[in-house]
């Protein structure tokens, strides 16, 4: 589905990604982990077209999208959920979803149904200003927005960072419902979550992929790994 080959990315003179090559299969949940500064967020942003690589290629369904804009990729079904949990604070939850519907030309009723399908309780907050939501509720709203328009690829950066364990449980349930229906590339540090959901785990270290793990039984070993 998505093939990244020899990707090199820099911020000015500071090179962040070094010859990163990975492949993602349709319907998989793939997790990327590593220490702060390993290049995880840079990797997601480059796939989404928010950063331009120095070299390398990104091929999606056989088409080179290395130079595609975020808008073009959005139309292709790419969605990016950043780690800052930023919503339109002065707008209601319903209005936040309406913006997502407008962006992909989805009828509002269909968008509201899609956004709440994986977390029906979101309906209880339709008339609440998004800025009044907790961090966990904002995260759920952002994932719900990302599902509007029937995406093919979800890029989610640190979905459980700073959240209480009960909310992390809700995030796990939401992602579980998406398995097989959408391809997920998720930056995460929660090993327990990955043990439940991951088809593949990539470990990044200093801008490179240092390990690829496809067996759930091996994920626990990451807890004691010097690479994480």
Q: How far is CA 34 from CA 76, 150, 179, in A?
A: 29, 30, 23
CATH 3.40.50.300 assigned to domain 2-224? The reply is yes
Structure-block tokens of residue 162: 């700073």
pLDDT of residue 88: 95
pLDDT reported for residue 216: 64
Domain boundaries, the chain: 2-224
- β-strand pairing of 78-81 with 153-157: parallel
The 3-class secondary structure across 180-222, one letter per residue, is CCCEEEEECCCHHHHHHHCCEEEEEECCEEEEEECCHHHHHHH
pLDDT per residue as tens digits for the range 21-53 = 999 999 999 999 999 999 999 999 999 999 999
pLDDT at residue number 202: 94
Residue 11: per-residue pLDDT: 93
219 touches 194 (CB < 8 A): yes
As a whole number, the mean pLDDT across the chain is 91
Name residues of the chain where pLDDT drops below 50. Answer: 226
What pLDDT is attached to residue 192? 82
Cα dist from 206 to 30, 39, 120, 159, whole Å: 19, 7, 40, 22
Within 10 angstroms of residue 142's Cβ, the number of other Cβ atoms is 23
pLDDT of residue 104: 87
66 and 47 Cβ atoms separated by less than 8 Å? no
- Describe the strand order of the beta sheet including 78-81 as a list of residue ranges: 78-81, 153-157, 183-187, 29-33, 200-205, 208-213
User: According to the model, what pLDDT value does residue 181 have?
Assistant: 86
């Amino acid at each position: 589905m998505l093939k990244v080959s020899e990707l090199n990315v820099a911020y000015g003179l500071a090179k962040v990604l070094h010859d990163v090559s990975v492949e993602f299969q349709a319907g998989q949940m793939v997790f990327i982990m590593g220490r702060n500064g390993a290049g995880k967020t840079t990797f997601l942003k480059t796939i989404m077209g928010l950063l331009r690589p120095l070299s390398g290629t990104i091929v999606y369904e056989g088409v080179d999208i290395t130079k595609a804009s975020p808008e073009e990729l959005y139309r292709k079904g790419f969605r990016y959920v950043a780690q800052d949990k930023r919503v339109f604070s002065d707008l209601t939850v319903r209005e936040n979803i309406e913006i997502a519907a407008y962006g992909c030309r989805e009828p509002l009723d269909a968008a509201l149904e899609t956004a709440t399908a994986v977390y029906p309780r979101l309906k209880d907050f339709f008339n609440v200003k998004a800025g009044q939501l907790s961090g966990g509720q904002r995260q759920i709203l952002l994932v719900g927005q990302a599902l509007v328009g029937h995406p093919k690829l979800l890029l989610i950066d640190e979905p459980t960072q700073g959240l209480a364990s009960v909310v992390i449980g809700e995030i796990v349930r939401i992602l579980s419902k998406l398995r097989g229906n959408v391809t997920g590339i998720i930056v995460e540090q929660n090993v327990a979550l990955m043990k439940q959901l991951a088809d593949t785990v990539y470990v990044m270290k200093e801008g490179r992929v240092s390990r690829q793990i496809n067996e759930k039984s091996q994920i626990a070993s990451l807890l004691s790994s010097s690479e994480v």
